[in-house]
Amino acid sequence: MTTETLIWVAVVVVVVAAIAVVAYLALRHQRRGRLRERFGPEYERTLAEQKNTGAAEQELRAREERVAELDIRPLTPESRRTYAERWTEVQKRFVDAPGFAVTEADQLVTGVMAERGYPIEDFEQRVSDLSVGHGDTLDQYRQAHEISGRAAAKKASTEELRQAMRHYRSLFEELLGESPASDRAARRDPATGRDDHDEGSSRRDPGGR
């Protein structure tokens, strides 16, 4: 083999290696982008906890694999209506018994999860499973659950309880699937009973002042 041939072989090897590296980096970037899109804020949270991108992404992929093996199913139209009605009832009770209403909201969200096929025995596992597909509302669920725990000990303020209801509602509506158009009540402020989209409704107190 001549020197010129060896040079060309070396060039080809270098080019092929470079192409392979570029393809690998592009694939890794694509996978990372998909994980960021699917997990939303949960991607950054997991990265901060792991302090290593590879380990964080491996954990998120493991969550995907676990959830893929679960029998997650949508609610029937009848179940969706029933849960929406129950939420409206819980929301009405907030005015007179906010702490009790928040506890009920927590139980209602857990009930929807169970009916849809999510294991509910352990809270941290619930959060992990929900992160696959519900990453945008997961921090709200964590906050609501924490407030619910303090509400049981009567250590949560009314404003905190109001926020918990809103946080629970965000995940609750996602778990129900597409929010029923007729269920306007489920979008109302838990204390005022007014629609969140009404101008200034979120700034009014229960007495309408």
Burial class from Cβ neighbours inside 10 Å (0-12, 13-18, 19+) for residue 179 reads middle
Query: Could you tell me if 63 and 83 lie in one domain?
Result: no
85 with 57, same domain: the answer is no
In a domain, 208, yes or no: no
> What 3-state class would DSSP assign to 171?
helix
Range of the domain at 25: 3-68
Same domain, 44 and 114: no
Q: Which of 192, 177, 194 is nearest to 98 (CA)?
A: 192
Residues 106, 36 share a domain: no
pLDDT reading at 154 higher than 80: yes
Lowest mean pLDDT among 48-52, 88-92, 135-139: 48-52
Whole-structure pTM value:
0.70
Residues 55 and 104 reside in one and the same domain = no
What mean pLDDT value characterizes the chain? 80
Q: Which residue has the higher pLDDT, 39 or 16?
A: 39
**47 and 82 housed in the same domain:** no
How much is the pLDDT for 202? Answer: 38
* Domain match, 32 and 96 both: no
Are 107 and 180 part of one and the same domain?
yes
**181 located within any domain:** yes
Please give the Cα distance from 7 to 180 (Å, whole number). 69
Lowest mean pLDDT among 32-46, 54-68, 154-168: 32-46
Count of domains forming the chain: 2
Given this model, what pLDDT does residue 185 score?
40
Is a pLDDT exceeding 80 seen at residue 61?
A: yes
Question: Is 120 found in the same domain as 54?
Answer: no
Residue 209 lies in a domain: no
In this predicted structure, the answer to whether residue 74 has a pLDDT above a threshold of 90 is yes
Whether 87 and 176 share a structural domain = yes
